[in-house]
Structure 1
Amino acid sequence: MDIIELERVAREIRLRDLQAVFEAGAGHIGGEMSVIDILTALYFRVLNVWPDQAKHPDRDRFVLSKGHTACALYVTLAKRGFIPEEEISTFLQPHSRLNGHPNCNKVPGVETNTGPLGHGLPVAVGMAKAAKLSGAKYQTYVITGDGEMQEGSNWEALMAAAQFGLDNLTLIVDHNRFQQGASLADTNNVAPLRPKLEAFGWDVTEINGNSMDEIVPALEYRGSRPHGIVAHTNKGHGISFMQDRVDWHHKVPSKEQYDIAVAELSEAL
Structure 2
Amino acid sequence: MDIQALERKAAEMRKTTWEMIYRAQNGHTGSDLSCADILVALYYQVLHQTAESFSDPDRDRYVQSKGHAVEILYSVLADRGYFPKEDLLTYSQFNSPYIGHPTNHINGIELNTGSLGHGLALSVGIAKAGKLDGRDYHVYTLMGDGEQAEGSVWEAAMAAGNFHLDNLTAIIDHNRLQISGLTVNVMNSEPLADKYRAFGFDVVEIDGNDMRQLVDTLQTRNTPGRPKLILADTIKGKDISFAENRPEWHHKIPTPEQYQQGLAELDEQIGGLVHAK
Give yes or no for TM over 0.5: yes
1:86 aligns with: 86
User: Contact 1:50 / 1:56 at 8 angstroms: preserved in 2?
Assistant: no
Deviation of 1:191 (Å):
2.0
User: Contact 1:178 / 1:235 at 8 angstroms: preserved in 2?
Assistant: yes
Asked if 1:39 is matched to 2:39, the reply is yes
CA distance in 1 between counterparts of 2:109 and 2:131 reads 22
Which amino acid in 2 is paired with 1:86?
Answer: E
CA distance in 1 between counterparts of 2:53 and 2:229 reads 28
CA distance in 2 between counterparts of 1:157 and 1:98 reads 29
Deviation of 1:52 (Å):
2.1
User: Contact 1:13 / 1:75 at 8 angstroms: preserved in 2?
Assistant: yes
Deviation of 1:181 (Å):
1.4
Deviation beyond 3 Å, 4+ runs, structure 1 = none
- 1:162-181 aligned within 5 A: 162-181=161-180
User: Contact 1:7 / 1:212 at 8 angstroms: preserved in 2?
Assistant: yes
Deviation of 1:53 (Å):
3.3
Scaled by the length of structure 2, the TM-score of the pair is 0.96
Q: Percent identity?
A: 49
Which amino acid in 1 is paired with 2:19?
Answer: Q
User: Contact 1:235 / 1:245 at 8 angstroms: preserved in 2?
Assistant: yes
- 1:129-140 aligned within 5 A: 129-140=128-139
2:153 aligns with: 154
Residue deviations 1:188-222 (CA, integer Å, cap 9, x gap) = 11122111111111000000000001111111121
2:231 aligns with: 230
CA distance in 1 between counterparts of 2:180 and 2:24 reads 22
2:66 aligns with: 66
User: Contact 2:65 / 2:117 at 8 angstroms: preserved in 1?
Assistant: yes
Deviation of 1:168 (Å):
0.3
Q: Which runs of 5+ in 2 are unaligned?
A: 271-277
Q: Which runs of 5+ in 1 are unaligned?
A: none
Residue deviations 1:9-47 (CA, integer Å, cap 9, x gap) = 101100000000000001001000000100000000000
Residue deviations 1:122-165 (CA, integer Å, cap 9, x gap) = 00000000000000000000000000011010001001001101
Superposition RMSD on alpha carbons, in Å?
A: 0.7
Aligned length: 268
User: Contact 2:13 / 2:75 at 8 angstroms: preserved in 1?
Assistant: yes
